[in-house]
Structure 1
Amino acid sequence: MSRGAKRNVVYKINCNQCEASYVGQTGRKLDTRIVEHKKHINSVSSSHSVITDHRMEFSHEFDWNNCEILDVERYYNKRLVSEMIYINRQKKGLNLQTDTDALGHTYTDILNKI
C-alpha cells in the first residue's frame, strides 16, 4: 500500500523554503487530505488555513510529495492525542496553539523536557 493510500494517520508537511511545518490527522486517505490542503489556496472561504496563510504571506510552497506519516492510529480519540503530541514537539510549527488545548499541562510539561 502506498503512503498516500494509508488512512487513520497523523502526518507532517514541511515547507520547502523554511523550517516551518504543519501536523495534521485524518481518517481518510492521506492523498485525499493533501489534495485539500493544496487546493485550499484557490478556494473562496472565510475559514483560514495556516498552510494557505503561510503560502500567501511568504510565497512559499510545501513539500506535498514527501509528507511524513508520524503515526497510524485507527481510533479517532487516540489519533487526536497523537496529533497534539506531535504538534507540541514541532520546532517551527504552523499549527495554532488551540490545536493542543485538550492536551493537559502535565503532558506538555513532560513533552517539553524530552
Structure 2
Amino acid sequence: PCILIFDSLKGDNRYDVVNILRQYLQVEWNLKKRDVEGERVFDRISMKGSMVNCPQQPNSSDCGIYVLQYVESFFLNPISDFTLPLVLPNWFTSKQAMSKRLSLSKLVMKL
C-alpha cells in the first residue's frame, strides 16, 4: 500500500498531507481493527507516500476540474507500476481536462 498525492498546483504542504493521512490511518486502525487483527504501524516504511509528477493546472481556478480528471484517468487508464516516484506528466492533456467543464455542464442540463 502507498499514499499518492495528486496535486495540480504543487502546494507547499504536500508532505504534511502524507503524514496527516498516516496518522489518520493509524487512529482508525487502532479504533476499529487492532482488537481483531492486531497491531499495525503506519509509518514511512510500511506506508510509503509520494507526490505524483502529474499534469498541472495552468491557473488557480481549475483545481476541481483537475481532481475530476485525475479520478477519471485513474479508473480509465489505471496505473500498473507503483514504483515510486510516479512520473505521469503526460497522463492526460490539458485539453482533456478543460473539456471536463463542458461535459459536466451538458450532464447537469441533461439531468
Give the structure-1-normalised TM-score.
0.37
Higher strand share: 1
Normalised by the length of structure 2, the TM-score is 0.38
Structure of larger gyration radius: 2
